[in-house]
């Protein structure tokens, strides 16, 4: 059970979330010295956003992996979107699936892209391909676990196209 990597593009990734990069339309700010690529992600933390359920920024330090990459676990967050913003310019792997029964897809970032996973999107774990695996993560902070996991009965192997 193999999956070939695909380039991470906004069009290909649209069913699962948003690609966050400094491309396309922008406006100049800071006396013309900075490009603002405005409102690049649809953050979604559910209808019950209040002081107990809110957006938060966390820092993740993940161990790097290598291709071919073998996995059998996907997860989703039914109560909120989740954005991964790399704090280094190294490519990382993004695994997504329409459902646990569907064949997963594996996207390879270009090192200058982050992602925002739509609420409820099935996805693999954070998979940097080089150290440091340092990411800023914007997601829902709340009292519930906001996590569902699924283990495949047989592992998938991701290989570079």
Mean pLDDT of the chain: 93
- Of 55, 73, 35, the closest CA to residue 137 belongs to 55
Q: What is the pLDDT of residue 128?
A: 97
Mean pLDDT to the nearest integer, 124-143:
94
For residue 42, pLDDT beyond 90: no
Q: What is the pLDDT of residue 54?
A: 83
- CA dist 54 and 135 (Å) reads 19
CB 97 within 8 A of CB 104: yes
Residues paired with residue 117 on neighbouring β-strands, in sequence order? 17, 82
For residue 26, pLDDT beyond 90: yes
Of residues 145 and 96, more confidence is placed in 96
Nearest-10 Cα torsion for 156, 153, 124, 91: -20
In this prediction, residue 72 has a pLDDT band, given cuts at 50, 70 and 90, of very high
- Pairing mode of beta strands 105-108, 92-97: antiparallel
Q: What is the pLDDT of residue 49?
A: 58
CB 22 within 8 A of CB 123: no
Mean pLDDT to the nearest integer, 7-29:
95
Q: What is the pLDDT of residue 120?
A: 96
Task: Give the pTM.
Answer: 0.90
Query: Would you tell me how many other CB atoms lie within 10 Å of the CB of residue 129?
Result: 18
- CA dist 156 and 87 (Å) reads 28
Mean pLDDT to the nearest integer, 132-148:
91
Mean pLDDT to the nearest integer, 39-51:
76
For residue 139, pLDDT beyond 80: yes
Question: If phi over 0 gives left and psi between -120 and 50 gives alpha, with beta otherwise, what is residue 146?
Answer: left
Q: What is the pLDDT of residue 51?
A: 65
């Amino acid at each position: 059970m193999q999956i070939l990597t695909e380039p991470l593009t906004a069009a290909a990734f649209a069913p699962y979330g948003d690609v966050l990069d400094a491309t396309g339309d922008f406006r100049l700010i800071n006396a013309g010295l900075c490009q603002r690529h405005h409102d690049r992600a649809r953050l979604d933390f559910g209808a019950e956003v209040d002081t107990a359920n809110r957006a938060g920024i966390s820092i993740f330090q993940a161990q790097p992996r290598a291709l071919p990459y073998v996995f059998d676990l996907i997860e989703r967050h039914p109560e909120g979107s989740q954005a991964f913003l790399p704090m280094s310019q190294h490519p990382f792997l993004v695994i997504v699936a329409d459902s646990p029964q569907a064949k997963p897809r594996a996207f390879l970032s270009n090192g200058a892209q982050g992602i925002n996973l739509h609420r409820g999107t099935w996805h693999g774990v954070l998979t940097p391909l080089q150290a440091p695996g340092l990411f800023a993560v914007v997601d829902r902070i709340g009292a519930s676990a906001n996590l569902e996991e699924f283990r495949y009965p047989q592992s998938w192997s991701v290989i570079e196209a």
